[in-house]
Amino acid sequence: MPRVKKFNEEETLNKAMCLFWRNGFHATSMQDLVTYLGINRASIYDTYGGKKELFEKAFTHYRTSNRKQLQAFLESQENVKEGFRSLFEREISEAACDADHKGCFVVNVTTELVPNDEEMLKVIQENKTFMTTTFEDFLKKGVDSGEISSTKNIKNIASLLHTFLNGLKVVSKTDANEERLVASVDTILTLLD
């Protein structure tokens, strides 16, 4: 007779995501997962596979959730430049409130696992493509409305804004001075004038 699970898989996946996000893949042991998740080792293996499989599922969960939030946020914005300003300011505010100074899970995984993990490199590259395409589509909305000049190289600006966002997340891990970070946002957004 199969065992009945006494834990919520989605909730447990969220907790695993937070632990990996805070500690990284290598610094999180199977015992850390058992202790933090509050479930036994056999349940982790039966439900998620091993540590690597659980990490991959947690990382996929993070990216999927962030993508949905980003798309919904940008779709709700009337003005492209102000939309980017709000996005960057939201990231700064979240970083300032994060007592663990976790930064961005994608950036953390990139610096920990790439270039040595070929599979993860592909995942990170695909994530970059998604982000830059999303930014480019949002910028095109500004071109179409006349808010942004059609002479601007939207593809390059989208790539730069993605790079800036990642840099912002790295810097905010060690320097969450909101005033300085917002000044950087003001400077980068002059590209859209």
- Give percent of the chain with pLDDT exceeding 70: 97
Q: Into which CATH architecture does domain 77-192 fall?
A: Orthogonal Bundle (1.10)
Instruction: For residue 102, give Cα distances in angstroms to 3, 24, 174.
Output: 36, 10, 10
**Contacts with 127 (C-beta within 8 Å, 6 or more apart), sequence order:** 63, 106
- Sorted by where each begins, the domain ranges of the chain are 1-60, 77-192
Mean pLDDT value of segment 92-117: 93
- Residue 1 scores a pLDDT above 50: no
| Tens digits of residue pLDDT in 7-30 | 788 899 999 999 999 999 999 999
d(CA 20, CA 53): 12
Integer distance in angstroms from the first to the last C-alpha of the chain?
66
Please say whether the beta carbons of 117 and 103 come within 8 A: no
Reported confidence tier of residue 104, pLDDT bands at 50, 70, 90: very high
> The tokens 């070929």 sit on which residue?
118
Cα dihedral: 8, 10, 13, 17 (round 10): -130
**Contacts with 181 (C-beta within 8 Å, 6 or more apart), sequence order:** 92, 168, 171, 172, 175
Q: Smallest Cα–Cα separation from 158: which of 171, 148, 173, 170?
A: 148
89 exposed, middle or buried (CB, 10 Å; 0-12, 13-18, 19+)? middle
> The tokens 């007592």 sit on which residue?
99
- Residue 151 scores a pLDDT above 80: yes
Which of the listed CATH numbers 1.10.10.60, 3.40.50.10860, 3.40.50.720, 3.40.50.150 matches domain 1-60?
A: 1.10.10.60
| Tens digits of residue pLDDT in 152-164 | 999 999 999 999 9
Give the chain's radius of gyration (CA, Å). 19
- Residue 4 scores a pLDDT above 60: no
pLDDT value of position 3: 56
Amino acid at 10: E
> The tokens 């600006």 sit on which residue?
157
Q: How many helices (H) and strands (E) does the chain have?
A: 9, 0
| Tens digits of residue pLDDT in 106-144 | 999 999 999 999 999 999 999 999 999 999 999 999 999
